[in-house]
Structure 1
Amino acid sequence: MIVFFDLPSVTYVDQKEYNKFHKFLIKNGYIMMQESVYTKLALNNSIVISERDKLKKNKPSKGLVQLLVITEKQFARIEYVVGDKKTDVEDTESRLIIL
């Protein structure tokens, strides 16, 4: 699952809502891919539906929040056009990673 968001942060209320949404994402296991783009692994469609419902319940009142669901294989095929792959993140199709 990939969540894209663009939220206003002009007023104090906007900033408060931004921080609340950001904390919700982190608390619920989303990992920052880049600024305003967060990812989470969902093992099956029922988890996707559950997470989508949680996002809708915790959405900010203003701004844009989008959800894209792709397979692990599609996610693994992301190409880096500019910039480098983060070395502190394990990128593999394996279900079990031993550190």
Structure 2
Amino acid sequence: MKRDEDSGGMWCLVMFDLPVKTKRQRYAATVFRNMLLDMGYGMVQYSVYVRYTPTQAGNRSTVKMIKDNLPANGLVRILHISDHQWSTAARFSSGKRETSEETPDFLTLF
């Protein structure tokens, strides 16, 4: 039987709660969010970011960077899901079902 991660690309989902009571905490949270954007993640919801890679190995390499840059007292959960699992997720906006995002195309350089 084929495992999900063998069936195509993988999505790395980063979910976090960061303290934002002080100016310093808000700044650290902004720096963390900007780091995720710089790493190629896109915002799904305010504290949920996602990135697609053709293999799970591409996602594993970013876990250390996220861990090393997590602000003090921040909580993070990193989840790797298959492209198939991502495509079957239900999405709703204002009570109406939305279609899933397409798998991103990647440019191959020789």
TM over 0.5: same fold? yes
RMSD: 2.2
Query: Are residue 92 (structure 1) and residue 102 (structure 2) matched?
Result: yes
Figure out how many residues of one structure are paired with residues of the other and give that number: 93
Instruction: For residue 74 of structure 1, report the CA deviation from its aligned partner.
Output: 0.3
Q: Relative to 1, partners in 2 of residues 1:94 and 1:35: Cα closer, same or farther, differing over 3 Å?
A: closer
Percent of aligned pairs sharing the same letter: 27
SS at match of 2:70: coil
Greater Cα radius of gyration, structure 1 or 2: 2
Q: 1:29: which partner in 2?
A: 40
Q: 2:20: which partner in 1?
A: 9
Rounded to whole Å, the distance in 2 between the matches of 1:93 and 1:37 is 18
Instruction: For residue 61 of structure 1, report the CA deviation from its aligned partner.
Output: 1.4
Are 2:20 and 2:29, in contact at CA under 8 Å, matched by a contact in 1? yes
Are 2:52 and 2:104, in contact at CA under 8 Å, matched by a contact in 1? no
Instruction: For residue 42 of structure 1, report the CA deviation from its aligned partner.
Output: 2.0
Q: 1:53: which partner in 2?
A: 64
Extract unaligned runs of 5+ from structure 1.
none
Q: Relative to 1, partners in 2 of residues 1:23 and 1:95: Cα closer, same or farther, differing over 3 Å?
A: closer
Instruction: For residue 63 of structure 1, report the CA deviation from its aligned partner.
Output: 1.9
Using the size of structure 2 for normalisation, the TM-score is 0.73
Query: Are residue 19 (structure 1) and residue 30 (structure 2) matched?
Result: yes
Rounded to whole Å, the distance in 2 between the matches of 1:69 and 1:4 is 11
Q: Which has the higher strand share?
A: 2
Instruction: For residue 93 of structure 1, report the CA deviation from its aligned partner.
Output: 4.6
Extract unaligned runs of 5+ from structure 2.
1-11
Using the size of structure 1 for normalisation, the TM-score is 0.81
TM alignment of 1:60-71, pairs within 5 A: 60-71=71-82
Are 2:17 and 2:75, in contact at CA under 8 Å, matched by a contact in 1? yes
